[in-house]
């Protein structure tokens, strides 16, 4: 303790400390918010005050460095995420083009698929989406994805109804990565919430495909497929 008097004054630092805590109600998610702050006063001699200020400056400098580091990491993470998403989109578009070209290859056993592929390319995105909704197919995706799905539906067929589990019309044929010749399943792509996809997926083989994909490609109410000559 340092004594001071009128004859022997001592410089001192007076500061306030505010302690704020969270109430038990808020900890239990009742929404009452933090408790009222508890304010205390402290005095330091000149020498101790300088030491306190130095410590505060160090703490503030460290906090700034940590905040800057967090921001750098956040920017790097966002950049990496964007690059990863871009790579995935590029890979997916490449796979869709490859599958579309295979399905429309006139040298394979796909009778009339080459001509059908050219006719499908004449459809606009709104027309493709109308046809998809009519055929209970997944509507989202790029134009290339829509063209690939509708060509696959024409060649292999479709489930012929909405998803038997969730009732949504978001079905898609699934092809094996190493074999684009035949689909091996039809899957529902509906999301019931974050990380909660519809579990419907019906597997089949080339021999049992006709018992699962009982539906055929049908036209929408506007007759878009007939307009481009894809259906009689």
pLDDT along the chain (232 residues), means of 10: 66 65 56 62 72 80 88 90 85 69 56 78 87 86 81 86 90 81 89 88 91 90 88 82
Distance CA 86, CA 64 (A): 33
Q: Which residues, listed in sequence order, are joined to residue 41 by a DSSP beta bridge? A: 16
Distance CA 45, CA 2 (A): 8
The pLDDT value recorded for residue 107 is 47
The pLDDT value recorded for residue 228 is 86
The pLDDT value recorded for residue 110 is 47
Of the candidates 150, 162, 176, which has an alpha carbon nearest to the alpha carbon of residue 230? 150
**Which are the contacts of 40, defined by CB distance < 8 A and separation ≥ 6?**
16, 17, 18, 19
The whole-model pTM stands at 0.53
Output the six-digit token pair for 29.
């998610």
The pLDDT value recorded for residue 204 is 92
The pLDDT value recorded for residue 153 is 86
Give the pLDDT confidence of 107-158 residue by residue, as tens digits. 454 457 778 888 888 888 889 888 988 888 888 877 888 888 888 888 888 8
Task: For residue 117, give the 3-state DSSP assignment.
Answer: helix
Helix H or strand E segment including 227: helix 224-227
Distance CA 202, CA 174 (A): 10
Distance CA 82, CA 193 (A): 23
């Amino acid at each position: 303790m340092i004594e001071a008097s009128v004859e022997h004054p001592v410089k001192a630092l007076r500061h306030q400390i505010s302690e704020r805590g969270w109430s038990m109600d808020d900890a239990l998610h009742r929404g009452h918010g933090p408790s009222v702050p508890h304010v205390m006063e402290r005095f330091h001699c000149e020498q101790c005050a300088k030491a306190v200020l130095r410590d505060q400056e160090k703490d503030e400098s460290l906090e700034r460095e940590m905040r800057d580091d967090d921001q750098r990491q956040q920017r790097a993470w966002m950049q990496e995420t964007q690059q990863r998403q871009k790579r995935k989109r590029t890979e997916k578009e490449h796979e869709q083009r490859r599958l579309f070209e295979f399905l429309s290859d006139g040298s394979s056993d796909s009778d009339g698929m080459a001509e059908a592929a050219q006719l499908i390319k004449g459809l606009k995105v709104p027309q493709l989406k109308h046809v998809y909704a009519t055929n209970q197919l997944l509507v989202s995706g790029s134009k290339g994805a829509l063209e690939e799905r509708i060509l696959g539906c024409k060649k292999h067929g479709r489930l012929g109804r909405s998803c038997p589990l969730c009732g949504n019309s978001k079905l898609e044929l699934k092809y094996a990565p190493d074999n684009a010749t035949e689909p091996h399943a039809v899957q529902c792509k509906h999301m019931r919430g974050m990380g909660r996809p519809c579990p419907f997926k019906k597997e089949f083989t080339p021999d049992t495909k006709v018992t699962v994909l009982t539906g055929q490609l049908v036209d929408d109410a506007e007759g878009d497929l007939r307009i481009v000559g894809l259906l009689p």
